[in-house]
Structure 1
Amino acid sequence: MDSRSRRRIGVTAAGIGAAGVGAAVGLRHFAVGRVRLRPDPDAGEPFGRLRGRELTVEADDGVPLHVEVDGPDDAGLTVVFSHGYTLNQDSWHYQRRDLQGSLRTVFWDQRSHGRSGRSEPWHATVDQTGDDLFAVLKATVGPDEPVVLVGHSMGGMSIMALAERHPELFDRQVVGVALVNTSCGDLAEMTLGLPLVLAKVLRPLAPGTLRGLGRRADLVDRARGLGADLAFVVTRKMAFADRYVSPSVVDFLEQMIRATPIDVIAEFYPALIGHDKSGCLGVLGGVPTLILAGGRDRLTPVEHARRIAEALPEAELVEVEVAGHVLPLEYPGVVTGGLRRLIARVRPGYEEERTA
């Protein structure tokens, strides 16, 4: 048995008439309304309203990247958060809220997402987002100041791209890494929860379909705003696995996705499906690493996290069995707790500072 700490957390059409269509729509509205009427302890959360000290970082191709910094500038450790595909920095809401204190935290919107500037389509690549992360680090962290990198989904891929292109940072500055719901490659095998045979049929159609939608971006984005109930159901089904997830959290995630233009989604999709950063895992093996995965993640299945963990025998692997693709929002305590353990490993005395 290796020394890796493993944790597994379990939590207890055609032929239908107009009247039938109307009934189906009515049922959908009823189902959504019933979910939204459940007691919702997160209803009062100020989602999207936590803000820090703002600055603009220019990427190497001139794209302005929106960055926000929280915490004291003289903190002994900086934690930099990179969000996922179709989201923005607000997806780290709970971690931003709960890690306030003696740490310095940096949040940024990846290019073409959130409040960052739009990228040229040919720069919508994982290598480029790795270079963007490098620019954010240069602008926010001194060359001799330690940093922990945290990435969700595409944000984790950006960290891997940084490791591939700037391995020297992991010798002298990056002291810890957290990878959440992410993959080092082979996402072409993703099934989205469909039967494997059907997924194989539909997979080649997706890039072309998205490109076609991207060319009709204005029309598609207007249509996206009309189907709020359907979007709620799809988001809940695809992103989450816990049937009791807060309706406010589902709404918040759906709003972030809807705010990402369809042509941006189309531009990044081929890069994510085709990316392969398995060769950089040896670089990550030199620093303490936390890997978090959802057992029912339809986008980056748990097997991808296990593959990364096999290459990083000293890493801590945490699997949440009844969780989907957005652990920072679905099980924020698991993510925040894992980050606190990682920070305590690289910053002696952190727990005493936090509880003082």
Structure 2
Amino acid sequence: MPQPDHPHDPAYWLARIAELPHPKTSRLRIMNVCGGHERTITHAGLRQILPDYLQLIPGPGCPVCVCPETDIQAAVALSLRPDVILATFGDMVRVPGNAMKGKPRSLQDARVVGGHVAPIAAPADVLALARQYPDKQIVFFAAGFETTAAPLAALLTRADLPGNLTILLSARQTWPAIDHLLQDEDPGFDALIAPGHVATVMGARQWAFIAENYDLPTVVAGFTPALLLQAIHAALAQVIARESRLVNAYPQCVTDEGNARARHLMDRVFDTIDAPWRGIGTFTSSGYALRPALAAHDARERFPEAFSDDSTLRMGMPAGCDCAAVVLGRITPSACRLFGTGCHPDNPVGPCMVSDEGACRIWWQSGAPTTNRQKLAV
């Protein structure tokens, strides 16, 4: 086991943080973008062992949470067609929408009434489905960030792509959401922990704009408690020194430019478009769309009728749900009006309680109190 004086031990970085001069503020807010980071921070209890002036804020790092209502209801409609098998990642199956009374609210509800829904673990799994059921249309409902878009791009460049496979693409880029927050007079954070998984694909340099354009310390981080504490130390050191720059604290996996092959494939098959984020609004150049050359594999082109129902036009969260405010870091998960009362993993009202990357589910699993109804001090 690593010793406390070893950088792989969280105690090492806790000691380094304690040695730093006090930043001369009663509150220092650090946002972590990634749901994986939030899971480590919460389950390792990092908030409880860091200095009181530090406030770690979960940010918009859950792709399931921001998947628009239009796409959820279109996926439900497609799953109910007798000629379609709808494939998607497991956590997407339970995400609730705002369907009209008597209609399925989620893909799980659709299964109950005869919908054909196949949970999968990776994009390549849909190839097996398409080959196993050549007489069916296989629709892959692909919600995710860049780490999902990259393997999907590799799939779509295969020469043997089955003709009965189409993609309902609902993938997003992460950085536009942070750029949106930073355009506010008070974005709600003073430094940023950037997502290590996204940076392995897109490169650390993608996050340099935060330091360069908005004068905020930015650190790309890994996912163990020690790596996250190292990133927090790097952010604090910048605040104390009154510096703002990009630091790659995850060089084990992240380079400045990222995975050149993956980025090439993504550029080859995707256009970037203005895209809606559920309950929040439309962010410029934040979404991926299949290029026209792949129209034969685009579910939006093959099944336009699934997107024409008026019931798909609502974009918000369910009544009483504060997931949008949680995603933007405006309130803590336990400050949601429904957290732990009407909304919990066995009965998720909003998407943040469904996914393992959703802040509400993470906080619930860690035993967060249901009595904290205070907004973050933003």
Q: Report the TM range for the smaller structure's normalisation.
A: 0.3 to 0.5
TM-score, with structure 2 as normaliser: 0.34
